[in-house]
């Protein structure tokens, strides 16, 4: 899955371990951001897991991450909440090689960083 993201989404012809490590570190930084910075929902990974796992046997998490950027990218552009949400649920941005279109989401946690309107996030998540 990581090689697919590097090759198809980030357009890297020959991804190195450094590229894969950058991808994993960016994702883990995003997932653990609620542990490291103040916000409206400060939590830890245990609380996140308790709130997201409806039954003990359904305990597998799959991470979708947006926006994806390559290690050497120097140009940035503003991304809207609808764009981020669409990218987050896009199979090309998932960190596991599984076809999510055939399954169902039982629970979902969307962690946004930066200056984002809560109303805009709530409206987008309802759609």
Per the CB < 8 A criterion, the answer to whether 94 and 62 are in contact is yes
Which residue numbers in the chain have pLDDT < 50?
Answer: none
Which pLDDT score is estimated for 15?
A: 92
Number of C-alpha atoms within 13 angstroms, CB side, residue 58? 9
Paired with 64 in beta bridges are 94
Which pLDDT score is estimated for 40?
A: 65
- What does pTM read for this prediction? 0.75
pLDDT in tens, 20-57: 999 999 999 888 887 787 766 667 778 888 888 888 88
Which pLDDT score is estimated for 74?
A: 64
**Domains in the chain, start-ordered, CATH in brackets?**
2-126 (3.30.1330)
Which pLDDT score is estimated for 81?
A: 92
Measured from the Cβ of residue 65, the count of other Cβ atoms closer than 10 Å reads 19
Which pLDDT score is estimated for 8?
A: 87
Which pLDDT score is estimated for 41?
A: 63
Per the CB < 8 A criterion, the answer to whether 34 and 111 are in contact is yes
């Amino acid at each position: 899955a990581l090689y697919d993201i590097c090759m198809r989404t980030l357009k890297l012809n020959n991804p190195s371990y450094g590229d894969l490590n950058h991808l994993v570190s960016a994702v883990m930084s995003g997932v653990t951001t609620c542990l490291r910075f103040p916000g409206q929902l400060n939590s830890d990974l245990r609380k996140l897991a308790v709130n997201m796992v409806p039954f003990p046997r359904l305990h597998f998490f799959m991470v979708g991450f947006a926006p994806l950027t390559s290690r050497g990218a120097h140009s940035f552009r503003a991304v809207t909440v609808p764009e981020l949400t669409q990218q987050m649920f896009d199979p090309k941005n998932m960190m596991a090689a599984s076809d999510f279109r055939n399954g169902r989401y039982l629970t979902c946690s969307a962690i946004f960083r930066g200056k984002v309107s809560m109303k805009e996030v709530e409206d987008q998540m309802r759609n």
